[in-house]
Amino acid sequence: MTDELDLIGALGSAEPLRPEAYQRARAVLRAAMADPGTVRLLGATSAEDTTMETSSTMETTTTTTTTRDHESSPAPQRRGIGIAGRLGIGAGVGVAAAAAVVAVALSSSAPGGMEAGKAGKDSSAATPGSTTVDGSAERAPLMTLAGSITTVTPAAGDAWLVKATQIHGTKTMQVVYTLYTDGHAIYTGNSVQDIKRAIARHQDQMTDGGYAPLLKAAVAAADSSPADGRTRMLKAAKDPLVGLDPAAQKAVWDKQQADVQVIIKQKGGNAEPKPYSPQAVERHFDNALWTYSTQALSAGNGNTQVRAGVLRLLSTISAVSVENSTTHGKATLTITAGPEVFGGEGSEVLTIDATTGMLVKDVSTVPGLPPASTTYESSRVTKVDL
């Protein structure tokens, strides 16, 4: 019988996933690592038609992505997968995520696996239906930068052009070009020519793309209280636990634990369900907030309000650390989400410009997988001169 693991193996001989598909799949995996027992492998999907400009023909695909804890995620997929029409991007990413989630869930029952790595700080118990906010001084630079970048006026041009190069292990998987106009439109493609076609066809990802709900939540967070910003982002991601009282949260939690136990047993695993607690829910919220906020940052990197909102959101996660750094001679900030954010395994490190807040590099490590990194090159341009 063919299952998710068989299908993901078949992807090895196919054309590489299109822009950010691997990143999204890894984000799903990182989310699953925080509490694999709450993964909705079956039924935790949503579909959204998305479009992308390519150098040949327009692709319209249906996006279906398996996500942890999210009954109906905003399916923030902006691009298709080139497997000669056999699979849409959702199939590719969903299969990859499903296989990875099962692997993580199975590893939790092995010595030295996920359960052995859970030790770490517990977040404070949450007020019923809400999320807590840790305003540690260690993350104060994020709040400071969030406030300052909204007052910075670029010296030239009317848009940011960002080239993102993603590497999986030692292999370049994809290169994405994105134009962020000062009027807050976002156009993306595999080349500058693709961007010009997207502009001509009014394919603004800020309003119509799969990332739009997360981008709007990030923009709102720029002017909201930290607690309201967290709640809005989690609601944009359709997190099933946010806004519920403890009794309702426990009912949802226990059902998801029971559902995933069926999958684990089908795969020959033997992992204990994770019991409900306010602390476990808060760790889940922190993990989900990191996952979806960084997706919004990747998608809206050239939008000042998106950057400001995401920085404010990340400053509320207790297991996130911030350090001053220097990258290629320029002042940067290094933002690290360590194992505590991901259930005791793996990490993600963002490097951002210390003046603009724009992404410079994103490095993700997941046990058992090659490291993945995305490098961002940003420049000011004039839209009509592309």
Helix (H) or strand (E) holding 307: helix 304-314
Q: With 80 as the cut, is the pLDDT of residue 381 above it?
A: yes
Average pLDDT in the 349-376 region? 94
Q: Across the chain, what does the average pLDDT equal?
A: 74
Smallest CA-to-CA distance from 178 within 157, 199, 151 is with 199
Give pTM, 2 decimals.
0.73
Phi, psi for 51 (deg, rounded to 5):
-130, 155
Average pLDDT in the 342-348 region? 89
At 159 the pLDDT is 95
Of residues 79 and 353, which shows the higher confidence score?
353
What confidence tier does 30 reach under pLDDT thresholds 50, 70, 90? low
Smallest CA-to-CA distance from 287 within 323, 245, 338 is with 338
Average pLDDT in the 214-228 region? 95
CB 282 within 8 A of CB 132: yes
3-class secondary-structure state, position 79:
coil
At 136 the pLDDT is 65
At 232 the pLDDT is 97
At 218 the pLDDT is 97
Alpha helices in 237-320 (DSSP H): 246-266, 278-299, 304-314
The one-letter amino acid code at 49 reads D
- Provide the 10 A C-beta neighbour count for residue 265: 11
